[in-house]
Structure 1
Amino acid sequence: MSAFSRQLRRYYGWYTGTFLFFVVMLAIGEQLGLSQHLIGHVFLFVTIAIYASIGVMSRTTDVSEYYVAGRRVPAVFNGMATAADWMSAASYIGLAGTLYFSGFEGLAFVTGWTGGFVLVALLLAPYLRKFGQYTIPDFLGARYQGNVARLVGLGATVLASFVYLVAQIYGVGLVTSRFVSVEFEIGLFIGLAGILVCSFLGGMRAVTWTQVAQYVILIIAYLVPVVILSYKLTGVPVPQIMYGTVLSQVTEREAELLVDPGEVEARKQYRYRSQDYASKIADLPGSLDAERRSLIERLNIMRLENASAREIAATERSLRDLPRTPEEARVQWNKAQAESLERSRAPPRHADAHPGRTPQERTASRNNFLALVFVLMVGTAALPHILMRYYTTPGVVEARRSVFWSLFFIFLLYVTAPAYAVFAKWEVYNNLIGSSLSILPDWVASWGKVGLVHIEDINGDGILQLAELRMNTDVIMLATPEIAGLPYVVTGLVAAGGLAAALSTADGLLLTISNALSHDLYYKVINPAASTHRRLVISKSQLLVVAVVAAWVASLRPDNILFMVGLAFSIGAASFFPALVLGIFWKRANRPGAVAGMLIGLGVTLYYVVRTHPFFGGSMANAWFEINPISAGVFGVPLGFAVIVIVSLLTPPPPKEIQDLVDYVRYPQLPNPDTSEGRA
């Protein structure tokens, strides 16, 4: 072990011990009367201050340090940084929620994301480290002879990373708005300040050491509540082993809720509402005019009869929110009709594999499971912000070891996520469902204020039925400590972990986008004679612009975090995986083939998302083989491989120096070929 590694272990050992002491002190403070409001503020602002301090101390103007942390990050610490970079708000916040609602089907995320690192270790990481340089478009530019492939790779890098970045900044806004009691949009920019301090001053050097610190916080924050819940429910503080016992209890409760009279009536009412929306859609535009006249008449009668101000305000709001045109009504009512239809059905049983009422539905469920696993595996092996991390190790051997440590540190969270989902479902099904609507716990109102929990007494019995409770996927992880009645310090700890997960990935993504624009576009294409100082200035200015634009898009509150991240994986998989793998393992792959393959693979993927996702005006009625839009890359990846192979065989092979480059990257003992790109 080098002196540098020993020093790092000592520093981060003290840091971990100090953080645990800080949590214990806050817990003692809560028992002595410290307010929840203050605990939330202290957790979030102290952790952001820690990250900012590391960013300031790691500032640099050296190009190698800024882009690849000086290529001296030990494997263990690069594994921790990669795990933090990888375990985004989707993994930390969204995965437990997806497993909560999807049960067995949600294991596609765990399987796909974990399996993807096997592909990284076998197919990409060591070879890209042998190549050297700074970015993925760097490799594409050298392997496929010039700037055309580089610019296509640059565009795909920016697109995939930006979609992913918006999801992270949305997660930051979610956490800060709930736990610091500020508006969602203000919360976005509070978190954004923490992101910028880390990445702006020190680039990859600052981001690396900050991500190690963030991993420590996020893994402690993830494990503490679920260990407490495991001990509370089973008497054994090992959730990864004991959650099966609780799952059997959840299965019994699911069977009870299936035949509960209140549940049956609530679902019947939602089915009637769905049919009503279907009738109104069929009768457009007349139904819209009739709806408007009905609300106006009701409002006039209320005013004549001196109805309560609350009733009048509710009717006025309904009139104001009514669609203005038949086209708007069709879109809005289609969405409402689909939601009502979904709530009229019993949710899938948690332990059922590939659920469905008919053989066709079960087949579609299985196909979507396999498609999602494929896309997440391949996307993991192709996302630029992850592959960039392996440029930072001292050598190829360290890059391989780094993948192992990445997988180990990620495994600690992923093996725990199923337990989190089961414990949360037990708490909701046993302690919330069936409660009187007049005495609901405080967390329902708290999360309702930020739009993540909705309750509607559709059958009018004053009792909360499962069908009447709608929770956003992203709320399960963050609210579970409150749902289970744990001390508020645990809730604050979970929020700090969620913030660490979102910030760590946002740092890496911002750096990936700004480095691609400054290095691959400005330095390699526009101004190859640019000085080191100018390159860094361009990188930092691009970083600021991208951060502000991403925050603005996140403020529009797009789809849930997990879908956005899944879309980024589909884009990355279709754009990069075929070109990278064939570029390393097949000498015959050439520039026309790679460019055509990347463009067509990406184009088909984006076309399918637009065609099938409601956000873009699409519909699953347009789906191919009933594949969900999150798995759109399942069509783009094989098509990309096929196009690269066919076009490469129909066009001249690459020159000898490019084929020598392939040999150099793949075989350890071969000398570095003299190419125009150079190697680091």
Structure 2
Amino acid sequence: MDTQFIVSLVIILATFGLYIWIALFNKAKATSDFYVAGRGVPPIFNGMAIGADWMSAASFIGMAGTIMLLGYDGLAYIMGWTGGYLLLTFLLAPQLRKSGRYTVPEFIGDRFQSKAALVIAAICTIIISFTYSIGQLSGSGVVIGRLFEIDARLGTMIGVVLIAFYAAFGGMKGITWTQVAQYLVLITAYLVPVIFMSLQITGNPMPWISYGEFVGKIGELDRELGVSEYFAPFTNGTKWQFLALMFTLMAGTAGLPHVIVRFYTVSTMKAARWSGAWALLFIGLLYFSAPAYAAFSRFILMTKVAGQKISELPAWTSSWIDTGKLQIADGNSDGILQWKELIIANDIVVMATPEIANLGMFVIGLVAAGAMAAALSTAGGLMISISSSFAHDIYYRVLKPDSTEKQRLLVARISIIVATFLAGIIALNPPGVITQIVAWAFALATGTFFPALVLGVWWKRSNAQGVIAGLITGLTVTLAYIIAAKYGGFTLFGIIDTGAGVFGALAAFTANIVVSLMTKPPSQENQESVINLRYPEQMVYKDGEVWINEDSK
């Protein structure tokens, strides 16, 4: 065993031990603990948990790599994902918290007084969360594969076992406090390398400022190497694709079930708003750093790796070639590695850069631990989302309403284990890179839950028939476009599979509104309850007037 392997392993095992201890200490003993952590999480810690839940393997592992390879066009990911939290925090989160439900499908079922809507929403949740989890498990495979220098697919299965254990055991209560720890690990692991690279390249420890100073240098290198300029817009796609992807990620953020449920774990509407504010701060630390990370990584690769003799490449290249995520081919047989002969996957840039920049063993191990924290935290939240949709929304609310709490917890834990292993099997040979798979999950959320929740909260006339039509239409259109664009080459306005949500959302909004207007309106009581969601908890809307709710004092 080499020293680097031992250092990385010790750091990862230490963090794993911390996560497992937290899960054991906060074991879910009741359904409210398992689904919403007893609704007692303070806003600042919920903000950290949201940050960890949100900053998945796609953000930690894939974000900087995507920006490094796509340049300007990769900014759609940052703008969409960050803007989506503003939408969620101000448009939906406080209102959904006031509803007092455990899950998004339960809110939809009760808001529209329809078991059919509940079941369809639960199925949509399972599809969205399952798709998202494939990306996370694939990310864990990249990390574990590099650590043990084994194929990434074997690393994926190791990740499956870890996630299935601690998600099934702790439930939302255990995962919430585990995610607080995981946020601290992953943000430290992300910031330390980018600060060191900034010092190494520019002499300035503030990467958010310093990387702008050598933007021109990267442009000069691009021109010398004959590649498309890093900061030139729309070189990897059309303007419409950029806008469609940004909208899909933004609206998808506001409709993701596993993110929304985090706002159910606080005690009040006010706490939900503050949770969103804290989450924006914690998420911003990583997202403001990703463009700098990408620029520094590209600069180092262009100046210290490209142009070198292939026989004299650094040791880190052979380690990553073993994982299947790096390919080097001497196309012109000159013995020199050209930039175009270096094929580096989006998914390894963050993991490989500390080695590329020679930042030392501890930083390399820290980044590995941070990447695992990112993958584990989001995958755990996704599995809880799948579990709650099946065990609470379908099993308890529809199939067996007389089931005991013990039976429901057992079904919830079994469903987590089954879902994790099924997602892991698909992640062995993922249908795309991590950021692409995650974008599909966002597109599905954009086409289903975003229209349903926006109209469910802000349009009292929306009814059960409308929301069912919207969910089915949005899901069908989004899935059809993803498949047609990915495998059939079909596009409209140059919008590819990752921007499919814009078509799904348009179809879902249209179907919901048209069908609702063509059918009987909800009862007066139901419409008043919808208006009630928009007011603070101490106020009640009734008979056309707003009253102070004495019971809330």
Which TM-score band (shorter chain)?
A: over 0.9
**2:147 aligned with 1:179:** yes
- Whether the 8 Å CA contact 2:149–2:319 is kept in 1: the answer is no
**In the alignment, residue 666 of structure 1 is paired with which amino acid?**
R
| C-alpha distance in structure 2 between counterparts of 1:372 and 1:178, whole Å | 30
| Cα displacement (A) at 1:499 | 0.3
* 2-structure distance, mates of 1:80, 1:456: 43
Residue in 1 aligned with 2:546? Answer: none
Identity %: 43
Instruction: Decide whether the 8 Å contact of 1:55 with 1:197 is kept in 2.
Output: no
Structure 2 matches for 1:41-80, cutoff 5 A? 41-80=9-48
Partner AA of 1:513 in structure 2? I
Residue matched to 1:667 = 535
The aligned residue for residue 254 of structure 2 is 381
The answer to whether 1:441 aligns with 2:286 is: no
In 2, Cα distance between equivalents of 1:506 and 1:85: 8
Whether 2:26 is the aligned partner of 1:153: answer no
Q: Which residue of the other structure, out of 227, 235, 238, is the alignment partner of 1:355? A: 235
1:70 shift after superposition: 0.7
Q: Distance in 2 between matches of 1:35 and 1:376?
A: 41
TM-score after normalising by structure 2: 0.96
Structural mapping, 1:328-347, within 5 Å: 346=227
Inter-partner Cα distance in structure 1 for 2:149 and 2:79: 36
Find the structure with the greater CA-based Rg: 1
Of the structure 1 ranges 185-194 and 438-447, higher mean CA displacement relative to structure 2 is found in 185-194
Q: Distance in 2 between matches of 1:165 and 1:396?
A: 29
2:500 to 632, 635, 656: 632
CA contact (8 A) 2:163 2:379 kept: yes
Q: CA deviation at 1:444?
A: 1.3
Q: How does 1:419-430 map to 2 (within 5 A)?
A: 419-430=292-303
1:641 maps onto 2:509 in alignment: yes
Tell me if 1:224 matches 2:192: yes
Counterpart Cα distance in 2 of 1:489 and 1:478: 13
Question: CA–CA distance in 2 between the matches of 1:473 and 1:428?
Answer: 14
Give the CA deviation at 1:522. Answer: 0.3
**Quick check: 1:664–1:672 contact (8 Å CA) kept in 2?**
yes
| Deviation by residue 1:619-642 (Cα, 9 ceiling, x = unmatched) | 1xx211110111101101012111
State the SS of the aligned residue for 1:470.
Answer: strand
Partner Cα separation in structure 1 for residue 301 and residue 328 of structure 2: 14
How many angstroms apart in 1 are the aligned matches of 2:151 and 2:67? Answer: 29
Q: CA deviation at 1:483?
A: 0.8
C-alpha displacement of 1:529: 0.8
Cα distance in 1, alignment partners of residues 134 and 19 from structure 2: 20
SS in 1 for 2:407: helix
Aligned-pair distance for 1:494? 0.7
Q: What letter corresponds to residue 370 of structure 1 in structure 2?
A: L
Structure 1: distance between partners of 2:492 and 2:535: 41
Matching of residues 408-419 of structure 1 within 5 Å? 408-419=281-292
The answer as to 2:424 corresponding to 1:551 is: yes
Look up the equivalent residue of 1:652 and give its one-letter code: K
Aligned to 1:474, the other structure's residue is in SS state helix
CA distance in 2, matches of 1:639, 1:189: 38
Counterparts in 2 of 1:208-357, with a 5 A limit? 208-258=176-226, 346=227, 348-355=228-235
How far apart in 2 are the matches of 1:216 and 1:198? Answer: 18
Q: What is the Cα deviation at residue 671 of structure 1?
A: 4.4
- Displacement of 1:123 in angstroms is 1.1
TM-aligned CA deviation for residue 143 of structure 1: 1.1
- 1:469 is aligned to 2:342: yes
8 Å Cα contact 2:133/2:423 also seen in 1: yes
Distance in 2 of aligned mates of 1:626 and 1:365:
6
Contact 1:52/1:194 (8 A) holds in 2: no
Please give the per-residue CA displacement for 1:602-627, whole angstroms capped at 9, x wherever unaligned: 1111111111103xxx21xx211110
Summarize deviations over 1:206-264 as a string: whole Å, max 9, x none.
00000000000000000000100101111110000000112221111112112xxxxxx
Kept in 1, the 8 Å contact 2:93–2:263? The answer is yes
1:35 & 1:550 partners in 2: Cα distance? 33
Deviation digits for residues 47-106 of structure 1, max 9, x if unmatched?
Answer: 111111111111122121111111010000000000000000000000000110111111
Check if 1:366 corresponds to 2:239: yes
Amino acid paired to 1:646: V
2: CA distance, partners of 1:80 / 1:257: 42
What is the Cα deviation at residue 34 of structure 1? 8.0
Contact 2:28 2:172 in 1 (8 A): no
SS class of match (1:133): coil
3-state SS in 1 of match to 2:238: helix
SS at match of 2:512: helix
**TM-score, length basis structure 1:** 0.78
Amino acid across the alignment from 1:560: V
Given the alignment, which residue of 58, 67, 77 partners 1:109? 77
Which residue of 655, 660, 663 corresponds with 2:523? Answer: 655
Partner residue in 1 for 2:469: 596
How far off is 1:180 after superposition?
2.4
Report the AA paired with residue 367 of structure 2. Answer: V
Partner deviation per Cα, 1:489-517 (whole Å, 9 max, x = no partner) = 21111111000000000000000001110
Q: Give the match for residue 545 of structure 2.
A: none
Residues 156/659 of structure 1: CA separation in 2 closer, same or farther (3 Å cut) = same
Alpha-carbon separation, structure 2, partners of 1:45 and 1:662: 48
Measured after TM superposition, the shift of residue 670 of structure 1 is 4.2
Matched, 1:609 2:482: yes
**Which letter maps to 1:656?**
Q
- Corresponding residue of 1:458: 331
**What is the rounded CA distance, in whole Å, between the counterparts of 2:393 and 2:539 in structure 1?**
27
Confirm or deny: 8 A CA contact 2:149 2:323 kept in the other structure: no
Determine the structure 1 residue equivalent to 2:53.
Answer: 85
Change (3 A) 1:187 1:214: same
Match of 1:580 among 446, 450, 453: 453
- For each residue in 1:503-547, what CA deviation from the matched residue of structure 2 results, as whole angstroms up to 9, or x when unmatched? 000000000001110000000000111111111111011111111
- The alignment covers a number of residue pairs equal to 542
Shift, 1:420, TM fit: 0.3
Identify unmatched segments of 5+ residues in structure 2: 543-551
Partner of residue 130 from structure 1, selected from 98, 110, 115: 98
Aligned residue type for 2:232? D
Contact 1:221 1:493 in 2 (8 A): yes
Q: Which residue of 2 aligns with 1:142?
A: 110
Q: Which amino acid aligns with 1:39?
A: V
Task: Specify every segment of 5 or more residues in structure 1 that has no aligned partner in the other structure, as ranges.
Answer: 1-32, 259-345, 357-363, 674-679
Name the amino acid aligned to 1:353: P
Aligned in 2, Cα 1:183/1:98: closer, same or farther, shift over 3 Å? closer
- 2:70, 2:430 → 1: CA distance? 23
